[in-house]
Amino acid sequence: MGQGPLKSVLHRLPILLPAGASLALWAAWLGWDQHRDVHPDGTTTGPYQAWQVIGLVLTLLVPLYWAASRQHTAAAVFGTTAGLTVAAYYDWSDDASGLFMVGVVLVMLGSLGATATASAVIAFARRDEPSPR
């Protein structure tokens, strides 16, 4: 009887790990930076710098690889996408214009396409490796 909750969590781990890692990595790389840069001509950029987004993408490859290399391709794709979408929604939802939803949808579509491609490449590459005995 004690095996039920543990088995349930272990069964969901392939999707929970990429989703949780995506949320945590968004917070680590992007969540702390809410300041827009104002240039001398009055234009604003930001709040994120390119190195922050690149760092997020590169570190997301670790949980994505973990799930995809274990034949959990769908969990890698949907877990990562769900985590990034929720993080973007939470981070940007204080925008009074309502246009933040456009950005959230773009994050969702972009992460869905990128993680699906990366997961397929990882799964394909791992399939060609001999299995350990």
pLDDT tens-digit series, residues 21-78: 999 999 999 988 888 888 899 888 878 899 999 999 999 999 999 999 888 999 999 9
| Crossing angle for the helix pair 73-92 and 100-127, to the nearest 10 degrees | 160
Domains in the chain, number? 1
Dihedral of the alpha carbons of 127, 20, 57, 66, in degrees to the nearest 10:
-20
Segments forming the whole domain that contains residue 59: 15-127
Tell whether 133 is covered by a domain. Answer: no
Whether residue 5 lies inside any domain: the answer is: no
pLDDT of residue 1: 47
72: nearest Cα among 113, 5, 18, 3? 18
Model pTM? 0.84
Does residue 56 lie within any of the structural domains?
yes
CA angle centred on 98, ends 31 and 46, rounded to 5°? 40
Is 41 within a domain?
A: yes
Does a structural domain hold residue 6? no
Asked if the structure places residue 40 within a domain, the reply is yes
Lowest mean pLDDT among 17-21, 118-122, 129-133: 129-133
In a domain? residue 10:
no
Please indicate, yes or no, if residue 1 is contained in any of the structural domains. no
Q: Residues near 14 by Cβ (< 8 Å), separated by ≥ 6?
A: 67, 70, 72, 75, 76, 79
